[in-house]
């Protein structure tokens, strides 16, 4: 699966070939242009990507149109992130968002994405208390949110939680390194796993993957540490601010497409300037309305 693309080069016609299926790519999701709809990306396809030394892309999505656009652009994994808290609901951090707020967003994304694997974040407070609580919340996201998998933040401490969830039939993506839900205990946005701390993250990744996590997402981890983790574990890794040697990469879509204003983290690359485009469109519309130029005869019945 040729899953990396140069900036701006992804078009629906270039939906990446499938994982591990050679140049012709027969038989796996998206491989046959006559196949409609393309098969769903599943967690074993992500594993095949790792096994074949290939890369895949993940973006956040929180509603219908972006889910549809990213899906058709060939993005393999959509994350209904708890970053909805500070990218949809107007909060400062990811902590306040609730299960009740995320579930309808997740349903909208899952209904709109025909091919991508849809992963939902379990919000802060919805899984930490016990493995039972995590299973119950995971079930809500798979049943009521129509998600295909869930993501939880945290290290070795969550080994038994992951095991219980996987046994209950809930695919789990583990999120280690900088975990935004713990930003107050981590002392803010700080790179994790530098120097001697690298071993702690390697141990986390080993424990969580051995407990059954289908992948390990690493946030703000030095590239060398991330590469060591990717080499140490069997399952695919996904990086955000973790260098280039992870199996997949993830970005928050409003950062990737330049919708969000303000200072960007070092790891963000902006592939568009939607904020300027949208502001220009809104300004032009407002001016035309005020000048009596819109609607014109062509827009009137
Ligand atoms: O919620 C989110 O957007 C995330 C990414 C930072 C990976 O967890």
Distance from residue 160's CA to the centre of ligand 1 (Å)? 23
Cis peptide before 98 (omega within 30 of 0): no
pLDDT tens for residues 132-162?
999 999 999 999 999 999 999 999 999 999 9
Residues touching ligand 1 (Cβ under 6 Å) are 60, 79, 81-83, 121, 217, 219, 240, 250, 252
The atom number, within ligand 1, closest to the CA of 82 reads 1
Mean pLDDT in residue range 171-177: 98
pLDDT of residue 264 exceeding 90, the answer is yes
77, 23 in Cβ contact below 8 A?
no
Probe target for ligand 1 pocket from 79, 85, 123, 215, with the most ligand atoms within 8 Å of CB: 79
42, 117 in Cβ contact below 8 A?
yes
Output the residue whose Cα is nearest ligand 1's atom 8. Answer: 81
pLDDT of residue 38: 61
Distance from residue 82's CA to the centre of ligand 1 (Å)? 7
Mean pLDDT in residue range 243-270: 97
pLDDT of residue 15: 41
pLDDT tens for residues 176-199?
999 999 999 999 999 999 999 999
Integer Cα distance of 182 and 94 in angstroms? 10
pLDDT tens for residues 118-139?
999 999 999 999 999 999 999 9
pLDDT of residue 7: 31
The atom number, within ligand 1, closest to the CA of 121 reads 1
Residue 96's pLDDT band, with cuts at 50, 70 and 90, is very high
Catalytic annotation on 35?
A: no
pLDDT tens for residues 223-256?
999 999 999 999 999 999 999 999 999 999 999 9
pLDDT of residue 184: 95
Q: With pLDDT > 70 as the criterion, what percentage of the chain qualifies?
A: 87
Cα angle value 36/250/210 (rounded, 5°):
95
Residue 203's SS3 state is helix
pLDDT tens for residues 19-50?
333 333 333 455 454 544 469 999 999 999 99
What torsion do the CA atoms of 166, 46, 179, 60 make, to the nearest 10 degrees?
-110
Of 14, 210, 219, 298, the active-site residue reads 219
């Amino acid at each position: 699966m040729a899953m990396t693309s140069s900036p701006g080069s992804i078009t629906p016609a270039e939906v990446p070939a499938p994982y591990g299926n050679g140049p012709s790519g027969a038989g796996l999701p998206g491989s046959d242009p006559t196949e409609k709809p393309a098969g769903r990306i599943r967690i074993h396809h992500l594993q095949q990507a790792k096994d074949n030394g290939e890369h895949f892309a993940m973006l956040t999505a929180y509603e219908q149109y972006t889910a549809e656009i990213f899906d058709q652009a060939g993005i393999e994994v959509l994350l209904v992130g708890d970053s909805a808290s500070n990218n949809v609901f107007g909060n400062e951090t990811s902590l306040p968002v609730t299960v009740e707020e995320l579930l309808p967003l997740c349903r909208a994304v899952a209904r709109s994405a025909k091919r991508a694997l849809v992963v939902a974040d379990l919000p802060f407070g919805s899984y930490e208390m016990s493995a039972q609580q995590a299973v119950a919340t995971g079930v809500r996201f798979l049943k009521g949110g129509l998600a295909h998998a869930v993501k939880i933040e945290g290290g070795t401490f969550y080994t038994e939680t992951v095991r219980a969830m996987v046994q209950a039939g809930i695919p789990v993506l583990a999120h280690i390194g900088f975990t935004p839900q713990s930003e107050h205990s981590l002392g803010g946005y700080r790179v994790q796993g530098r120097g001697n701390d690298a071993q702690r993250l390697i141990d986390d990744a080993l424990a969580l993957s051995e407990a059954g996590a289908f992948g390990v997402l690493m946030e703000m981890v030095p590239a060398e540490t991330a590469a060591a983790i990717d080499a140490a574990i069997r399952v695919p890794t996904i990086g955000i601010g973790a260098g280039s040697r992870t199996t997949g990469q993830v970005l928050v879509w409003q950062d990737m497409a330049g919708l969000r204003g303000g200072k960007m983290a070092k790891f963000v690359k902006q592939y568009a300037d939607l904020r300027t485009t949208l502001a220009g469109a809104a300004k032009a519309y407002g001016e035309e309305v005020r000048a009596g130029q819109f609607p014109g005869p062509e827009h009137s019945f």
